[in-house]
A and B are shown apart, each in its own frame.
Chain A
Amino acid sequence: MAVANARGRRLGRLERPALTGVLVREVVNFSSYWRSATFSSTVEPTIYLLAFGFGFGSLVSTIGGYEYVEFVGTGTVATAVLFSSAFPAMFGTFVKYHFQRTYDAILAAPVDTEELVTAEALWIATRAGVYGCAPLIVAMVFGLDPAWGMLTVPLIAWLAGFGWACFGVAVAGFAKSIENFSYIVSAVLTPLFLVAGTFFPLDQLPEWAQFLANFNPLYHCVELVRHAAFGWSGWADVFHAGALVVFGLLMWRIAIHAMVRKLVD
């Protein structure tokens, strides 16, 4: 304590230099794998968009007053966010912990687990913010009209991406082996992804299912993006944004808890 006071700095919990260090590592690494990451994060949702847009779109021309391509084009933003945040966070965290032992090296530096997890999530969220826009741009090629509100889409994607990144880190923190991920993908991610209002509107579903959708962060992301593209709807959007904030904060704390358990003996 004496020495710490003499030096006049008691280091805080979330320090910028620590976050910067972890972010710099991610950015420098990204230069070596950005092609594959960009490919998987943008091509997959685009395929969904094209397959559903044209396949299903030939049966249903409009849904809830929107062209089907517009409906799906805005909806798959949430899909792109999920694919570019939850999955890289799950696999990336597990690989960096188990196989590359990167986290051992980072935690030997003046970086705490809380800072490590936060910086990793911030980085993945930023990527999700960018990749989330891909379906929107593709949909524009197929007739989606640009709107000023769409400028908020990167922000919405970032916010949702942060929560899903933390979710992925937490899953990797709790998982004993990488095979355990299949349970999460099948039992959690796939249902949430299908019942988010991406491909069909939820107001066709029974009431209990509509109620449950409120606990699906993807649903809130889908709604916000659609309103950003077609017109805001006041308090409903505040509620959706609030839900994403709560999801992000909750997952953030859970991810930190999971990783402290895993990284500190």
Chain B
Amino acid sequence: MGETAIRLRGVVKRYGPITAVDGLDLDVPVGTCVGLLGPNGAGKSTTMRLLTAQAIPDEGELEVLGFRLPEESKQARALLGVTPQLDNLDVTLTVEQNLLVFAFLYRLGRHERRDAVERSLEMAKLVDRRDTRVDKLSGGMRRRLLIARSLVHRPRLVLLDEPTVGLDPQVRQELWALVDALRSEGTTILMSTHYIEEAQRLADTVMIMSHGKAVAAGRPAELVTEHAGQQVLEVYGAPPRLAEVEAEAGAAGLKTRRTGTSVSILGVDGSNGLGIDGERRAANLEDVFVLLTGEEIG
């Protein structure tokens, strides 16, 4: 096994009566992309804030790139890139000025700055927009700039907090390509998301969070097989019919979950699905998530 970029042990963070992070263990091996998956309020963003020492844990140990937090967090932050969930670009500055400011904040030398800004402009595909003020950019461009800004110092580890939240599907695809490129360069990534597809597409391993706790962790495909089986039978019908189906499946020892207009019967691999009519589909992380937490997501 290689080095560990992030190591959390028994981390607890409380805000008054609310326990945002509740005894969390997390390992992010160097060179991998780990996805934190969970609904809003699961503790993903608090975990991200703990990793930059913008939140101090009440209990537990945190280590980022070998530095103990919060004591040595400044050293860790120098090697860390952070893409926040909420856009905090300087909107009255140009694209290039935004990148230049961060080249200074991340302490790049006089001779490195120019190259770093150029590289980031290319990565964000904003070379021809370098002199455009940020408030004149589209949402997708702003988000690309936000990510590129966090990479200006070639960080060894990148924290992406909900990188595509609130963006339309086509822009999301673009950003996934950007994150994928970063991954293939060997950068370690910790990404939080509440989009199942995003976690499934980008993450080597996923940790499912609910109420500040990790409820499952592993490779997306393995998590699906382990908890939801290969195939799911989706049965549509009126509420009384759905209740019947649930009872039948339950009697046969199969797990079910209810969505708005249907019941999903999990783990119907190979079997005849109890002779119930429905549509077969491949099981996915969402099934696992709902099964494990009882919560809807996304």
Contact = CB atoms under 8 A, between A and B. Distances in A.
Q: Say if A and B assemble together.
A: yes
Interface of A: 1-4, 7, 9, 11, 17-18, 20-22, 24-25, 28-29, 32-33, 100-102, 104-112, 263-265
Nearest to B91: A100
B147 interface: no
Contact of B105 (A7, A21, A101): A21
Tell me the interface secondary structure of chain A in the complex. Answer: helix
A24 B101 contact: yes
B259 interface: no
B74 A112 contact: yes
A263 B259 CA distance: 40
> Top 8 A-B pairs ranked by shortest CB distance?
A21-B105, A3-B66, A101-B88, A108-B82, A265-B55, A110-B78, A109-B105, A32-B92
A254 B1 CA distance: 48
A142 B45 CA distance: 59
B92 A29 contact: yes
A265 B49 contact: yes
B24 to A, nearest CB: 16
B53 A264 contact: yes
6 contacts: A3-B75, A21-B104, A28-B101, A101-B88, A106-B105, A110-B106
A22 B102 CA distance: 9
Contact of A3 (B15, B67, B101, B102): B67
Interface string B59-95: 0000001111000101101101010101010111100
Interface in B22-50: 46, 49
B88 A104 contact: yes
B84 A25 contact: no
Contacts of A101: 84, 86, 88
B92 A25 contact: no
Contact of A2 (B66, B80, B91): B66
B84 A104 contact: yes
Contact of B56 (A102, A111, A264): A264
A32 B65 contact: no
B100 interface: yes
B2 to A, nearest CB: 15
A108 B52 contact: yes
B101 A110 contact: no
B107 interface: yes
B88 A102 contact: yes
Contacts of A108: 52, 54, 77, 80, 82, 84
A20 B109 CA distance: 12
A111 B105 contact: yes
B293 interface: no
Central interface residue in A105, A107, A111, by most chain B CB within 10 Å: A105
A3 B55 CA distance: 23
Contacts of B13: 265
Contacts of B67: 3-4
Given A1-B72, A29-B90, A105-B82, 7 more contacts: A1-B68, A9-B75, A33-B92, A102-B88, A110-B75, A110-B106, A265-B54
Nearest to B55: A265
B97 interface: yes
Given A4-B67, A104-B84, A109-B105, A11 B53 contact: no
Contacts of A107: 52, 54
Nearest to A17: B107
B93 A28 contact: yes
Contact of A25 (B49, B77, B91, B104): B104
A265 B150 CA distance: 22
A107 B100 CA distance: 17
A24 B92 CA distance: 15
Contacts of B82: 105, 108
B43 to A, nearest CB: 13
Contacts of A25: 90, 101, 104-105
A33 B90 CA distance: 12
Contacts of B104: 20-21, 24-25
B74 A110 contact: yes
A84 B84 CA distance: 32
A100 B82 CA distance: 16
A48 B289 CA distance: 66
Contacts of B97: 28
A107 to B, nearest CB: 6
A53 to B, nearest CB: 36
Central interface residue in B46, B86, B105, by most chain A CB within 10 Å: B105
Interface string B140-174: 00000000000000000000000000000000000
A192 B77 CA distance: 42
Contacts of A22: 105
Contacts of B93: 28-29, 32
